[in-house]
Structure 1
């Protein structure tokens, strides 16, 4: 099922992974062990980057995957092919989850195809670097919050009636929430909201047997940075400031989402994992 998206960005987001060089690493590193056997997962922003790597790993672990994305149909089709090659069933759904009603339509499509939802990964996001706060337009501010945090509320509201005890929600926050970012003021603010949302939603749902956690990646090589307005100079040195001296790859982040989504993390809720190249943060 595909919704038409009429969107004007101030840059080239969301960006095609198929056009990115070098290509991000999405391939799961190890054989599956059935940790998600029989489960149905929704992964937003699954057409590329961390979302694609997470969808691939979930499928290898036995899950069927709904691939939600904005408008990069070729990338989403590739992710669906990856999921099927790993033995899972795939559904693709295009639409702006920040818009009212789109998440509900997506969830209805998932229920129609799979009949259940066990895992929600809220991964979709966007960023627009601005060195001066005065350069952030109201349109950009609304756009960033709509994609990064409004969409999470909409998705959780839509899936909530279908989640049973043992279900898991995993949100994608960011290292920028913890250490700040001088050029990503609106983006960092949304990531702070996501962390607070994760902790509060955990308190709200933990009594129902539904766990809510988050992952806070550091600099990861995905379309988000090169397509999101980063300068050539910044890209040349992307990730070098981490203690490990390099950016991470999507398949180095996906295992954190898997851990929090499966029963390995059955005693964890309201927590954040930090795959960030060795940056020490609080929380």
Structure 2
């Protein structure tokens, strides 16, 4: 049996996104694959969407590499997932801070940064991972409310957080934004989501040009189909989930711990000569830069 044949996600119905990782029967793999080597020793990272999925895997790996972590999650229903991520961070011997709220609201973005700096005394890494998506068969199906909400969550939040974080970032700091393979390939049923990912890539490149002279590096990661709560809990239609990830050259979806190392590389000094770039953990799809 191939990896693709073995992958049979169980679909659950849930009224809100991104859903609970704790309730998934086929749980995403967030666990770091290797012992830490101190690449983020005594750094402080703010990871959005850190309660589950890619965000949890990034928080776990950053903690293993020596960073203290503040995670941000959207809704009270996700508290159990967030507390699990906190236990992972603390299990790596690092300190964690759990922040709940809507980053699409500027005041909460300001609060999240302020509380992180107050708790840890500094901020070195901003990992903008939180996002949402809603499948629609026709462009006319996208409501104004959904359009505004998707842009608010996916790109407004990045502007707000970067603006709040900027006074606390110094030479050697890193910002990593989560784009998507859909920015490069398109997605016929994710029109608004894909548009936000295009905006994120342009923002990443432009922000790099804006900050690189001050020693602050800005890069991005554009994952392909990754097995997280986002997709089975409403981010894709049930019909799409039957073959989720199988169209990639590798014939399967990725796991969060296959994406987290890209964030680590861009957060640490291993990538000291890179800024304005995007990495592509996408299962082998060849896309334009």
- Tell me whether the two structures share a fold, i.e. TM-score over 0.5: yes
Q: Distance in 1 between matches of 2:237 and 2:198?
A: 24
Aligned length: 274
TM-score scaled to structure 2, two decimals? Answer: 0.94
| Residue in structure 1 matched with residue 51 of structure 2 by the alignment | 47
CA contact (8 A) 1:126 1:228 kept: no
Cα offset for 1:172?
Answer: 0.1
| Residue in structure 2 matched with residue 202 of structure 1 by the alignment | 208
| Residue in structure 1 matched with residue 195 of structure 2 by the alignment | 189
Counterpart among 116, 119, 132 of residue 122 in structure 2: 116
| Residue in structure 2 matched with residue 57 of structure 1 by the alignment | 61
Cα offset for 1:231?
Answer: 2.6
Q: Is residue 98 from structure 1 mapped to residue 98 from structure 2 by the alignment?
A: no
After TM superposition, list the pairs within 5 Å mapping 1:68-147 onto structure 2: 68-71=72-75, 72-147=78-153
Q: Distance in 1 between matches of 2:138 and 2:101?
A: 31
Give the gaps of 5 or more residues in structure 2: 1-13
| Residue in structure 2 matched with residue 230 of structure 1 by the alignment | 236
Over aligned residues, Cα RMSD in angstroms?
0.9
| Residue in structure 2 matched with residue 6 of structure 1 by the alignment | none
Partner SS for 2:22: helix
Q: Is residue 179 from structure 1 mapped to residue 185 from structure 2 by the alignment?
A: yes
Q: Distance in 2 between matches of 1:21 and 1:144?
A: 27
| Residue in structure 2 matched with residue 155 of structure 1 by the alignment | 161
TM-score scaled to structure 1, two decimals? Answer: 0.96
CA contact (8 A) 2:73 2:99 kept: yes
Q: Distance in 2 between matches of 1:203 and 1:141?
A: 28
Give the gaps of 5 or more residues in structure 1: 1-9
CA contact (8 A) 1:173 1:195 kept: yes
Counterpart among 14, 18, 26 of residue 18 in structure 2: 14
